[in-house]
Amino acid sequence: MEIYIDNRQSKALITDDIIDLLENVIKESLDVERKDKNYEISISFVDNHEIRELNKEYRGIDKETDVLSFPIDEDLIIPVPLLGDIIISVEKAIEQAEEYGHSLERELAYLTAHSMFHLMGYDHMNKEEKEIMRGKEKIVMKNLGLFKDIKGE
């Protein structure tokens, strides 16, 4: 498994510990889906301005969001399968961590799990889809010991 990191923001320091945590979230998400680890995934850390521009360009929504997921077409024939790209607004993650009363690390982990399930074909456009996707996210977070009520993990 290859994970490519592109840090294009200056709102928070993205430490090796955070990268290791997100790598564990990615592995656990793949395990939950019983997928092998032979994938390439990129994670880009951006600010609200950049994610707003991307959200406007690709989704037609002129508003910042916390995370965007861009799955790669499964029909591409390449030596190592590309699962896709995850783009996280660290600025928005900081806001949400404060709002929900937990650490930035926990918020980044959740956003990564959420995005991984989007990359693997899940969505939350209706109640049933949302319940399935949220259930999978909760399994990942529980398996890694990342609970909502723990602050400063």
3-state secondary structure of 116: helix
Query: Which letter, b or e, does each residue of 54-64 get, where b requires 16 or more Cβ atoms within 10 Å of its Cβ?
Result: bbeeeeeeeeb
Structure tokens, 59: 């989704």
Q: Return binding residues for Zn(2+).
A: 114, 118, 124
Report DSSP state, residue 57.
H
- What ranges make up the beta strands (E) of 1-153? 2-7, 40-46, 67-71, 82-89
Q: Return binding residues.
A: 114, 118, 124
Residue linked to tokens 């980044």: 108
Half-sphere exposure of 139 (CA within 13 A, CB side): 16
